[in-house]
């Protein structure tokens, strides 16, 4: 989704801003732009549709000298991707970039047109810059004008503003969209994600909801939502924990798939004893809170929602605690009753997903016992606003298609299952068995990754297909859902998933020789039932591709391709069976020649509704 970078320095900033945008490319966007203030020629901008490299070419042809600037990657919401809709938007000597959506933009536009402003774009954002300009005319102070303007805005924003009449500063504000200040020596920066600024600093101050900041080369000042001056903590980022390059891999997605054994090891470190889960890892208050929990409500989006779906089977099956799971965009707009002593669990890689955050904020107004965030980003809004958090420790995930974030979320959810189950149906022997399975997990994932060559061969059968059906039963149904999501998002093949028992209630009508059917088949209590369902597919000429436990008793035959997966314990089977589905979608995408790491129309972090 949209990205913001800004700089106030004593050196040229356009190269810094451009590098910042490159580092945000993984989030998904469709145009880019930059404005810089030059002491000689004032405010100037360059914009380009498409990749940041197109903006780089525009800058090469016509450089932007100057020491104060802002830049943006835009993911179109209001108005098509075009140069005139790309940010920064201008009003007189003021330039602005914005992430988020202004919901009352139509009313503001009418009001501003009445004041004589002419709009150059179709965006909601342009209303903000004219509004700031309007107030600036009255008080000749950019900070005051921004403070005034944001009181007129309804919706979400992370924004940054510069003004050629006050070239030594930048003003930024956040509400519903993250912003961070990067602290340098004699220079300061801002960005929507600290990753954009790692080339210039490792010290960051995260703005909180409602904050407005004035940033100058030698200092920055912050005011909270009540307009009181506040000091935000400065965090030093651990460089070793952050490596955002592809290394030997062709794509981030492949690198991230192969990182899974090591990141899972990291996410278990310090949380597993030899026989027990160390629930202290959930925080000092965790024991006190969890012992009273009688229900769990999970809320998330996309892949994180699938992790929640898997966890429902664990929390009900192992812990014996009722668990509901809902996509955040539905949860936040529905009337429902909160069960007594319910723990609200949000799951999010980024911790900035607009719907998940809104669901958390809604829950805080309701009668939940506590909120827990399972998240991959320290200092994200979700983490900071929850009572408890469990970090997934996957490291930065750059590929838009979530892989290692998903499996580390599952690890965190197993830990949570145990932490809650202890006060309910999970006895010591069962906990010990789960801990043993978790200790074995990283090596079993490595073993499963060795199926890569076979899966690559299998992928040839999908390159010309337009549809695919993913089947699983029980806890493997959400694994099938995740497999279908991976295939559709990076190969653009239409893929659906069903619990295999539902086949004959409709989807069987789709099955013919053009419809590959992928099934995940561990050797569990539902295996025989799944086999019957698969026979229904074979009998109708469907092409079957089954990832099956070595001991599941499948034999290859015409129309039935088998890949044998290591035998694993029930609790970790969803993680193991996810791996071949990730690899399959990756190889199919390679054959289709799609943009694996940045699939069309998608964004890594969905910070708007």
What residues make contact with ligand AGP under the rule CB under 6 A? 301-304, 348-350, 353, 356, 400-402, 489, 605-606
Closer by beta carbon to ligand AGP, 14 or else 356: 356
Mark out the alpha helices in 291-403 (DSSP H runs): 302-314, 328-331, 354-363, 381-385
Closer by beta carbon to ligand AGP, 511 or else 606: 606
Closer by beta carbon to ligand AGP, 105 or else 194: 194
Residue 88: C-alpha distances to residues 42, 172, 236, 444, 479 (Å): 15, 13, 30, 49, 42
Which of 311, 274, 315 minimizes the C-alpha distance to 293?
A: 315
Gap between the Cα atoms of 567 and 455, Å rounded: 18
Least distance (Å) between residue 448 CB and ligand AGP: 19
Least distance (Å) between residue 306 CB and ligand AGP: 8
> Residue 240 gets which letter from DSSP?
G
Gap between the Cα atoms of 48 and 60, Å rounded: 12
Least distance (Å) between residue 381 CB and ligand AGP: 11
* Burial environment of residue 2 by CB neighbours within 10 A (0 to 12, 13 to 18, 19 or more): buried
Gap between the Cα atoms of 21 and 517, Å rounded: 40
Closer by beta carbon to ligand AGP, 173 or else 401: 401
Closer by beta carbon to ligand AGP, 400 or else 420: 400
Closer by beta carbon to ligand AGP, 56 or else 484: 484
CB 52 within 8 A of CB 11: no
DSSP code string of 137-200: HHH--HHHHHHHHHTT--B-EEEEEEETTSTT-EEEEEEBS--EEEE-SS-EEEESSGGGGTTT
Helix (H) or strand (E) holding 529: helix 527-539
Which of 451, 440, 447 minimizes the C-alpha distance to 265?
A: 440
> Residue 317 gets which letter from DSSP?
I
Closer by beta carbon to ligand AGP, 36 or else 358: 358
Q: Is residue 604 annotated as part of the catalytic site, yes or no?
A: yes
Structure tokens at 474: 């029980």
Per-residue three-class SS string for 242-290: CCCCCCCCCCHHHHHHHCHHHHHHHHHCCCECCCCECHHHHCCCHHHHH
Least distance (Å) between residue 394 CB and ligand AGP: 11
What is the number of the residue whose Cβ is closest to ligand AGP?
A: 302
DSSP code string of 46-92: EEEES-HHHHHHHHHHS----SEEEEEEE--SSS-S-TTTSSPEEET
Helix (H) or strand (E) holding 401: none
Closer by beta carbon to ligand AGP, 117 or else 252: 252
Q: Is residue 246 annotated as part of the catalytic site, yes or no?
A: no
DSSP code string of 478-526: HHHHHHHHHHHHHH--EEEEEEGGGGGGTGGGG-STT-EEEEEE-SSTT
Closer by beta carbon to ligand AGP, 146 or else 360: 360
Gap between the Cα atoms of 101 and 492, Å rounded: 27
Q: Which of 51, 175, 312, 604 is catalytic?
A: 604
Q: Catalytic residue positions?
A: 2, 604
């Amino acid at each position: 989704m949209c990205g913001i970078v800004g700089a106030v320095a004593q050196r040229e900033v356009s190269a810094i801003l451009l590098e910042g945008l490159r580092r945000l490319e993984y989030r998904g966007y469709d145009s880019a732009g930059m404005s810089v203030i030059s002491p000689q020629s004032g405010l100037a901008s360059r914009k380009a549709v498409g990749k940041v490299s197109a903006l780089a070419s525009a800058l090469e042809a016509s450089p932007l000298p100057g020491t104060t600037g802002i830049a943006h990657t835009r993911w179109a919401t209001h108005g098509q991707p075009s140069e005139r809709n790309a940010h920064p938007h201008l009003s007189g000597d003021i330039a602005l970039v914005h992430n988020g959506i202004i919901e009352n933009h139509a009313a503001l536009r009418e009001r501003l047109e009445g004041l004589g402003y002419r709009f150059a774009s179709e965006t909601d954002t342009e209303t903000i810059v004219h509004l700031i300009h309007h107030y600036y005319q009255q008080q000749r102070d950019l900070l005051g004008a921004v403070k005034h303007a944001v009181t007129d805005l309804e919706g979400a924003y992370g924004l940054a503003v510069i003004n050629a009449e006050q070239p030594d500063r930048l003003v930024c504000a956040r509400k519903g969209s993250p912003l961070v200040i990067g602290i340098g020596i004699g220079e300061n920066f801002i960005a929507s994600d600290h990753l954009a600024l790692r080339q210039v600093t490792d010290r960051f101050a995260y703005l909180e909801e409602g904050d407005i900041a004035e940033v100058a080369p030698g200092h920055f000042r912050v005011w909270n939502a009540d307009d009181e001056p506040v000091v935000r903590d400065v965090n030093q980022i651990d460089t070793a924990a952050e490596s955002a390059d592809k290394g030997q891999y062709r794509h981030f997605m492949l690198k991230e798939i192969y990182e899974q054994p090591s990141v899972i090891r990291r996410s278990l470190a310090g949380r597993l004893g030899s026989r027990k889960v160390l629930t202290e890892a959930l925080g000092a208050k965790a024991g006190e809170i969890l012992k009273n929990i009688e229900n769990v409500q999970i809320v998330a989006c996309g892949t994180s929602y699938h992790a929640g779906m898997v966890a429902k089977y664990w929390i009900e099956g192992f812990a014996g605690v009722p668990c509901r799971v809902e996509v955040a965009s539905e949860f936040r707009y529905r009337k429902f009753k909160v069960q007594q002593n319910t723990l609200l669990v949000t799951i999010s890689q980024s911790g900035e997903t607009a719907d998940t955050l809104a669901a958390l904020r809604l829950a805080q107004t309701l009668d939940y016992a506590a909120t827990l965030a399972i998240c991959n980003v320290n200092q994200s809004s979700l983490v900071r606003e929850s009572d408890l958090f469990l970090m997934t420790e996957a490291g930065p995930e750059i590929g838009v298609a979530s892989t290692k974030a998903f499996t580390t979320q599952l690890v965190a959810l197993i830990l949570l299952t145990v932490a809650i189950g202890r006060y309910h149906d999970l006895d010591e022997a069962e906990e010990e068995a789960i801990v043993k399975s978790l200790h074995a997990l990283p090596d079993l994932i490595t073993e499963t990754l060795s199926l890569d060559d076979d899966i690559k061969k299998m992928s040839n059968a999908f390159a010309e297909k337009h549809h695919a059906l993913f089947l699983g039963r029980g806890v493997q149904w959400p694994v099938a859902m995740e497999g279908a999501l991976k295939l559709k998002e990076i190969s653009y093949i239409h893929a659906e998933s069903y619990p295999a028992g539902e086949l004959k209630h409709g989807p069987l009508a789709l099955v013919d020789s053009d419809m590959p059917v992928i099934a995940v088949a561990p050797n569990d209590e539902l295996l025989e039932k799944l086999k019957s369902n698969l026979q229904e597919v074979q009998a109708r000429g469907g092409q079957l591709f089954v990832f099956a436990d070595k001991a599941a008793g499948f034999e290859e035959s015409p129309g039935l391709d088998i890949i044998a997966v290591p035998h694993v314990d029930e609790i970790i089977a969803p993680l193991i069976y996810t791996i071949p589905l990730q690899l399959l979608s990756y190889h199919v995408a390679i054959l289709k020649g799609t943009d694996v790491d940045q699939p069309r129309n998608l964004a890594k972090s969905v910070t708007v509704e």
